[in-house]
Amino acid sequence: MSAPARDYYETLGLERDASAADVKRAFLRKARQLHPDVSDDPDAEAKFKEVNEAYSVLSDPRRRQNYDRFGDADGMGGFGSMDDLFSGFGSMSDLFSDFFGGGARQRRSGRGRDMAARIAVTLAEAATGTERTIAYDRLGVCDDCGGTGSADGETPHTCPACGGSGMRTIVQQTILGRMQTSAPCDVCHGTGTVVEHPCETCEGQGRVPTHEVVTVDVPVGVRDGETLRMAGLGEAGWRGEVAGDLVVEFAVAEDPRFVRRGDDLAARIDVDALEAILGCTVEVEGILEGESFLADVEAGSLEGARLRVEGRGMPRRGGGRGDFYGIVEVHPVADLTSEERETLSRVSRSHGGRIAPELEAVAEGRAPSAKHWPRP
């Protein structure tokens, strides 16, 4: 057995200047011979995968260009967002099963199915909105017949088997008598129309496996799990019927700095015990790039105290913003000098505070100044 062919052109039996249409035709021809459901060749599956891989590169202008120049489809400038693809619409081989199995499968309607994709964004990206490019494979409109499924441009005519209803009535004799059931017509696959000379490229389906690249607008303030329906970008319809939609789901990542609740954002505000007692104004980093604002920590704030700054939360799609909430976390006061401890002990004592015995002596004037003592 030979090593897997690395030359994608050779795999598909193409010259290097082959057109996009040549690539598609060569791929479909090879794939038909090698599809594991059809071929007897014991290596069919491995060969099918190679053909698949070659096609996925050569059918994508950007990856093909990379491959021609660098010998590697993704080495330079490949899509960074491939991870964004959601497997909701199944694998490549499912796609081809749908395509090759399409002639035999009974269909209720010729409308293409919806497909799903997921786009992951950071919270900061969700705040401003952004753009993402995603790449995916689908059954797209066959260019060779313009989606009609007909080789010679003839308009599809009414299916003689079902009279155009797309359904056939099956009558069965059972012990209870005659039973009538209806099922999609197997001649026209439920579409109600047929063509005399089917297009060779798509075998009359009007659609073929295609590689799509679309740019998606990620809206301002998008929420985790929110979806966007992109009409007509799902699976192409059977013989020119309505295409399904591409349903994009946004996944907004958690942010280490902020907790989001609806349009509001919360973050920890670190203060030391003295700041908590006296109150302070702190500078807070906002969700927008380079944004900062001031927040007031009230005097006497305790651990877990909340403060609110209006209009500094997540931007909203229609304008305006949610609010920012600061949650106070109180930390020990670092590096107090002996003198500072003495000063504080006097303040505390005058409020009836309990203080350490050695500080008590100083506070009462019974002991020499603190500078004789070691630092704590």
Residues at the interface with Zn ion (CB under 5 A): 142, 144-145, 159, 161-162, 185, 187-188, 199, 201-202
CB 207 within 8 A of CB 123: no
- Which of residues 201 and 210 has its CB atom nearest to Zn ion in the complex? 201
Q: How far is the CB of 145 from Zn ion (least distance, A)?
A: 3
Containing H/E element for 280? strand 280-285
Local structure of 168: helix, strand or coil: strand
Q: How far is the CB of 28 from Zn ion (least distance, A)?
A: 10
- Which of residues 121 and 162 has its CB atom nearest to Zn ion in the complex? 162
Q: How far is the CB of 182 from Zn ion (least distance, A)?
A: 12
Report how far residue 325's alpha carbon sits from residue 104's, in angstroms, rounded to the nearest whole number: 60
Q: How far is the CB of 169 from Zn ion (least distance, A)?
A: 12
- Which of residues 66 and 148 has its CB atom nearest to Zn ion in the complex? 148
Local structure of 328: helix, strand or coil: strand
- Which of residues 206 and 326 has its CB atom nearest to Zn ion in the complex? 206
Residue 216: strand pairing partners: 132
Containing H/E element for 23? helix 20-34
- Which of residues 240 and 315 has its CB atom nearest to Zn ion in the complex? 240
- Which of residues 145 and 267 has its CB atom nearest to Zn ion in the complex? 145
Residues 171-185 as b or e (16 or more Cβ within 10 Å = b)? eeeeeeeeeeeeebb
Q: How far is the CB of 62 from Zn ion (least distance, A)?
A: 25
- Which of residues 161 and 220 has its CB atom nearest to Zn ion in the complex? 161
Q: How far is the CB of 63 from Zn ion (least distance, A)?
A: 24
Report how far residue 355's alpha carbon sits from residue 365's, in angstroms, rounded to the nearest whole number: 14
Q: How far is the CB of 102 from Zn ion (least distance, A)?
A: 12
Instruction: Kindly tell me the burial class for residue 161, based on how many C-beta atoms sit within 10 Å of its own C-beta (0-12, 13-18, 19 or more).
Output: middle
User: Within 13 Å of residue 375, how many CA atoms lie on the same side as its CB?
Assistant: 6
Instruction: Kindly tell me the burial class for residue 167, based on how many C-beta atoms sit within 10 Å of its own C-beta (0-12, 13-18, 19 or more).
Output: middle
Q: Which long-range contacts (CB under 8 A, 24 or more apart) does 92-99 make?
A: 92/52, 92/56, 92/137, 93/48, 93/52, 95/137, 95/138, 95/139, 95/209, 96/31, 96/35, 96/52, 96/209, 97/37, 98/139, 98/235, 99/139, 99/205, 99/207, 99/208, 99/209
- Which of residues 28 and 115 has its CB atom nearest to Zn ion in the complex? 28
- Which of residues 5 and 187 has its CB atom nearest to Zn ion in the complex? 187
Q: How far is the CB of 239 from Zn ion (least distance, A)?
A: 9
Q: How far is the CB of 202 from Zn ion (least distance, A)?
A: 3
Report how far residue 63's alpha carbon sits from residue 57's, in angstroms, rounded to the nearest whole number: 5
